[in-house]
Chain A
Amino acid sequence: MSEAACHALGLAGFGALATAAWATVLYDLVIVLVVLVGVLSIAAGLTWFERRLLSFFQDRLGPNRVGPAGLLQPLADMVKMFFKEDWIPPFADPALFVLAPAIIIVSVLLAFVVVPVTGSFVIADLNIGLLFFLAMSSLGVYSVALAGWSSASKYSVIGGLRAAAQMMSYEVFMGLALTGVVLLSGSFDLNRIVAGQRGLWYVVPQLPGFLVFLLAGFAEMRRIPFDLVEAESELVAGYRTEYSGMKSGMFLVGEYLGMTLISALIVTIYFGGWLGPGLPGFVWFLIKIFIFIAFFILVRATLPRPRYDQLMDLGWKILLPLCLVNLAVTGAIILAVQR
């Protein structure tokens, strides 16, 4: 976290202590913990948000018994999960079986490091932020593929293999879609990408790129309509069929973290991030994020699921050529304008 970030948080007083190395370390740990807990709480809160919103779309009430408006439901779920028997099947590969859910949580959390909440509030203002995000999100595939493989159950293995092919493919399209934005902004730094959108959000010049990124986002999040790796009417629970208790809960949290991350990235890259009139930057940021989260939930309430080969067809036969054309056209236009 930069010094400016400390100011933003009104913690300038800490500057005096910063000379003491120990205090700095302590302070950093506290901040990191605050962010960790904050992001995880959002993910937990989303379980409530999604269930209530989904219920609203589906003419029913949803969880409304635990606490006011059911707000304590995530807490109750968490307590329940803690007390659930969490066994490692004797036929599974124990090391990978435990590692898989850990990878998904850590990799998604790490990707949050580069997301600028405001111009000055970002944990690590990496000048290769965009690449860092892509790297972290490709780690997600290890989690799902290893979970499926290590479970040694046929449904899990099929789910894991599907996950590997699906997430890897869409990783490519995601990266290629983002190249267009890099062309426009000339930077991988997410804060500079946001700053570049002061006049016009990138969604306008990069509409095809945005659509590809959005679809790839669905595939990376493994949400309906692209939840084929755990399609319950076909694969029971896919890659996590054999998981139970807290480890299963981690996949759940990982999914909601992923949804928050993708929403945050879409907002940052295509919808001007924290930019907006009147309200403080982080408020705009949160508002935009929740609009996208609500959109993802609406899509879940609406669409059926394509078949696996249709998903791959869409990617390789439509999205990939679209990405390449988008890149060429964007480059040509920028050159023409420069002339």
Chain B
Amino acid sequence: MTTAFLTNWIYVAVFIVAGAAMVVGILLMSRLVYPIHPSPEKYSTYECGIEPVGDSWHPFAVRYHIFALLFLVFDVEAIFLFPWAITFRRLGTSGFVEVLVFIAVLAVGLAYAWLKGALEWV
């Protein structure tokens, strides 16, 4: 079991290396054959043919951060749920009730965020 487990991970590692090597290889091969003809227009930012106003790395939409926070909360929830799910049959009713309470607490959190308007976009 342990050996098989390790062997499997070695294959994953090999796959990572081979995949990365392939990407690098393709980019290098392409680099060898493609033409290079620089021009000022080509090197300008694409903004529909008009010179941009201001910086693109711009303070932007706090909304996204709220969704990042929500993601964090509920992804962590999922992390807690996975071990429960896999041992579900052993834990039985008591485990189920505990998880229901856990879900309920988070559901209250979601309801709060919802009512507070954190889920509204504009």
Q: Determine whether the beta carbon of B14 is less than 8 Å from that of A28.
A: yes
User: Which A residues fall within an 8 A CB radius of B?
Assistant: 1-2, 28-29, 32-33, 35-36, 40, 81-87, 89-91, 98, 101-102, 105-106, 109-110, 113, 123-127, 131-132, 149, 151-158, 161, 164-165, 168-169, 171-172, 175-176, 179, 182-183, 186-188, 236, 241-242, 245-247, 250, 308-309, 312-313, 316-317, 320-321, 324, 327-328, 331-332, 334-335, 338
| 29 A-B pairs with C-beta separation under 8 A | A29-B18, A83-B30, A83-B35, A84-B30, A102-B20, A105-B22, A110-B12, A110-B19, A126-B12, A131-B82, A151-B56, A153-B46, A154-B47, A156-B56, A161-B64, A165-B68, A168-B75, A169-B71, A172-B78, A176-B77, A179-B85, A183-B88, A186-B88, A236-B46, A308-B121, A312-B121, A316-B119, A321-B107, A335-B93
Q: How far is the CB of B20 from chain A (nearest CB, A)?
A: 6
Answer yes or no: B58 CB below 8 A from chain A CBs: yes
Q: How far is the CB of A11 from chain B (nearest CB, A)?
A: 15
Given the known interface contacts A86-B31, A316-B70, the answer about A155 and B46 at a Cβ–Cβ threshold of 8 Å is: yes
Q: How far is the CB of B102 from chain A (nearest CB, A)?
A: 10
Given the known interface contacts A152-B56, A153-B56, A168-B67, the answer about A187 and B86 at a Cβ–Cβ threshold of 8 Å is: yes
In the complex, what distance in Å separates the CA atom of A338 from the CA atom of B26?
54
Residues of A within 8 A of B56 (CB): 91, 151-154, 156-157
Q: Determine whether the beta carbon of B78 is less than 8 Å from that of A324.
A: no
Residues of A within 8 A of B23 (CB): 101-102, 105-106, 250
Given the known interface contacts A32-B15, A102-B23, A317-B119, the answer about A153 and B86 at a Cβ–Cβ threshold of 8 Å is: no
Closest to B24 in A: A102
Given the known interface contacts A105-B23, A164-B64, the answer about A113 and B12 at a Cβ–Cβ threshold of 8 Å is: yes
Interface residue SS majority, chain A = helix
Residues of B within 8 A of A40 (CB): 22
Contact of B11 among A28, A85, A187 (CB under 8 A): A28
Residues of B within 8 A of A113 (CB): 11-12, 15
Residues of B within 8 A of A169 (CB): 67, 70-71
Contact of B75 among A85, A90, A155, A172 (CB under 8 A): A172
Given the known interface contacts A28-B11, A164-B64, A335-B96, the answer about A153 and B45 at a Cβ–Cβ threshold of 8 Å is: yes
Q: Determine whether the beta carbon of A106 is less than 8 Å from that of B20.
A: yes
Answer yes or no: B112 CB below 8 A from chain A CBs: no
Residues of B within 8 A of A110 (CB): 12, 15-16, 19
In the complex, what distance in Å separates the CA atom of A41 from the CA atom of B16?
18
User: Which B residues fall within an 8 A CB radius of A?
Assistant: 4-5, 7-9, 11-12, 14-16, 18-20, 22-24, 26-27, 29-31, 33-38, 42-43, 45-48, 52, 56-58, 60-61, 63-64, 67-68, 70-71, 74-75, 77-78, 81-82, 85-86, 88-89, 92-93, 96, 99-100, 103, 106-107, 110, 114, 119-122
Residues of B within 8 A of A312 (CB): 67, 119, 121
Q: Determine whether the beta carbon of A82 is less than 8 Å from that of B71.
A: no
Q: How far is the CB of A69 from chain B (nearest CB, A)?
A: 27
Q: Which 10 A-B pairs have the closest CB atoms?
A: A309-B121, A246-B30, A182-B85, A175-B78, A124-B8, A168-B71, A106-B19, A165-B67, A102-B23, A172-B74
Q: Determine whether the beta carbon of A123 is less than 8 Å from that of B15.
A: yes
Q: How far is the CB of A314 from chain B (nearest CB, A)?
A: 11
Q: Determine whether the beta carbon of A328 is less than 8 Å from that of B34.
A: no
In the complex, what distance in Å separates the CA atom of A101 from the CA atom of B30?
14
In the complex, what distance in Å separates the CA atom of A327 from the CA atom of B102?
12
In the complex, what distance in Å separates the CA atom of A175 from the CA atom of B27?
34
Residues of A within 8 A of B99 (CB): 331
Q: How far is the CB of B58 from chain A (nearest CB, A)?
A: 7
